[in-house]
A = this chain, B = another copy of it.
Amino acid sequence: MKNYYAIIMAGGIGSRFWPMSTSKHPKQFLDILGSGQTLIQQTYHRMLNFCLNENIYVVTSSEYEDLVAKQLPQLPKQNILSEPARKNTAPCVAYASYKIHQLNPQAITIVAPSDHLIKKEDTFSKAVKSCFQKAEKENCLITLGIKPTRPDTGYGYIQFKDSDTSEKDNRMFKVKTFTEKPDHEMAKFFIESGDFLWNSGIFIWSTKSIIAAIEKHDAELANVFKEGIDVYNTAEERAFVSKAYITCKNISIDYSVMEKATNVYVRSSIIGWSDLGTWGSLYTHIGKDKKNNAIVGKNVINYDSKNCIVHVPKDKLVVIQGLEDYIVVESDNTLMICKKQDEQQIRNFVNDVKVLKGDKFV
């Protein structure tokens, strides 16, 4: 286990979950599900199933360092890696991978978002362990793939090749193509063809393999973070990273590496996954009452409302009557009421609020 590492990515702002999720207190730091744990706490505890505490790293925006430290008090402080700017996932992966590789050249890492839902923890652990074993033995990049249940146009899709009979794990497939956010027609076609999975954004690889892949497929990015080899895990690391993040481009690991690499595998997993990207996706994952309302809040009284999502603070009394297919969210003295079918507008609300009322509420 000492070679197994986790890199938890916790720099996002989750604006589609506004007003619960704000740039000051994003989704990963919230108990969106009303479970008693925030999403990052759930993610951290999930990683402890196959990683030692000291091998878990959280990469986050500098402004969330304190939040991470507060929510994960057991995590060693030096394992919180601070990003001075939001540059998407590739710089985050590059930075953490070079740093961990410098500590332990045998390192195998799982890279995972901090704000996803995984309901089947045991199946997830088994899947990750089998990926770790493969990543230990060969130069490969593995992603967890999710069996799609609907032609969602918000996800990335992975086309896989027929199972290689040499694979011990019969749910491990070679990847043929990545397709980011297809249109509805194409998404439907993907689902019907049966050889596509959703890209969960959870990756497993050795630091050796990912570093080699970055150096091969995105030399520009590699050069930025390679330069720090002598300062990672020293007092100069922070200053170096500050400069590196100014220089480096904004790019996802999918575009930077995964779509180009040829040694990519996908592990098909039934882990009760959701990226909890929107209120609608939350709706499908929490308990409903008899009238199909998903209600988080201890003091919500409903009369004749159907198919609603209500997410309000515990101490708040809320009486709703005659609402159908609405999202009602109250957080931090901000209330949002929006039709479920129009939830894509929430991003506009956030922008408008910013313009009209300033940063205070977003």
The answer to whether A318 touches B334, judged by C-beta atoms less than 8 angstroms apart, is yes
Measured between beta carbons, the chain B residues less than 8 angstroms from A356 are 301
Measured between beta carbons, the chain B residues less than 8 angstroms from A336 are 318-321
Bound state CA distance, A345 and B303, in angstroms? 10
Q: Which of A286-327 contact B (CB under 8 A)?
A: 299, 301, 303, 312, 315-323, 326
Measured between beta carbons, the chain B residues less than 8 angstroms from A319 are 19, 334-338, 349, 353
Chain B nearest Cβ from A119, distance in angstroms = 30
Chain B nearest Cβ from A228, distance in angstroms = 42
Which of B299, B321, B357 contacts A299 (CB under 8 A)? B357
A162 beta carbon closer than 8 Å to chain B: no
Q: Please, which residue of chain B has its CB at the minimum distance from the CB of A334?
A: B317
Instruction: Given contact pairs A299-B357, A321-B336, A322-B326, enumerate 15 new A-B contacts (beta carbons under 8 Å).
Output: A19-B317, A301-B353, A303-B345, A315-B333, A316-B333, A316-B335, A317-B333, A318-B336, A319-B338, A321-B345, A323-B337, A328-B337, A330-B335, A335-B335, A337-B337
The answer to whether B337 touches A349, judged by C-beta atoms less than 8 angstroms apart, is no
A residues contacting the other copy or chain, number (CB 8 A): 32
Q: How many copies of this chain does one complex carry?
A: 2
Bound state CA distance, A353 and B336, in angstroms? 23
Bound state CA distance, A328 and B328, in angstroms? 11
Chain B nearest Cβ from A75, distance in angstroms = 33
Binding site for B on A (CB under 8 A): 19, 299, 301, 303, 312, 315-323, 326, 328, 330, 333-339, 342, 345, 349, 352-353, 356-357, 361
Measured between beta carbons, the chain B residues less than 8 angstroms from A357 are 299, 317
Bound state CA distance, A315 and B357, in angstroms? 11
Measured between beta carbons, the chain B residues less than 8 angstroms from A328 are 337
Bound state CA distance, A326 and B328, in angstroms? 14
Bound state CA distance, A355 and B333, in angstroms? 27
Interface centre among A303, A317, A349 (most CB of B within 10 A): A317
The answer to whether A312 touches B299, judged by C-beta atoms less than 8 angstroms apart, is no
Measured between beta carbons, the chain B residues less than 8 angstroms from A337 are 318-321, 323, 328, 337
The answer to whether A317 touches B353, judged by C-beta atoms less than 8 angstroms apart, is yes
Q: Please, which residue of chain B has its CB at the minimum distance from the CB of A327?
A: B321
Bound state CA distance, A258 and B118, in angstroms? 71
The answer to whether A318 touches B345, judged by C-beta atoms less than 8 angstroms apart, is no
Bound state CA distance, A154 and B104, in angstroms? 80
Bound state CA distance, A356 and B319, in angstroms? 12
Which of B312, B321, B338 contacts A321 (CB under 8 A)? B338
Bound state CA distance, A19 and B318, in angstroms? 10
Bound state CA distance, A318 and B148, in angstroms? 36
Measured between beta carbons, the chain B residues less than 8 angstroms from A303 are 345, 349
The answer to whether B353 touches A339, judged by C-beta atoms less than 8 angstroms apart, is no
Q: Please, which residue of chain B has its CB at the minimum distance from the CB of A336?
A: B319
Interface centre among A315, A320, A335 (most CB of B within 10 A): A335
Which of B312, B321, B323, B333 contacts A349 (CB under 8 A)? B321
Measured between beta carbons, the chain B residues less than 8 angstroms from A338 are 319-322
Chain B nearest Cβ from A356, distance in angstroms = 7
Measured between beta carbons, the chain B residues less than 8 angstroms from A342 are 321-322
Measured between beta carbons, the chain B residues less than 8 angstroms from A317 are 19, 333-335, 353, 357, 361
Measured between beta carbons, the chain B residues less than 8 angstroms from A326 are 322-323
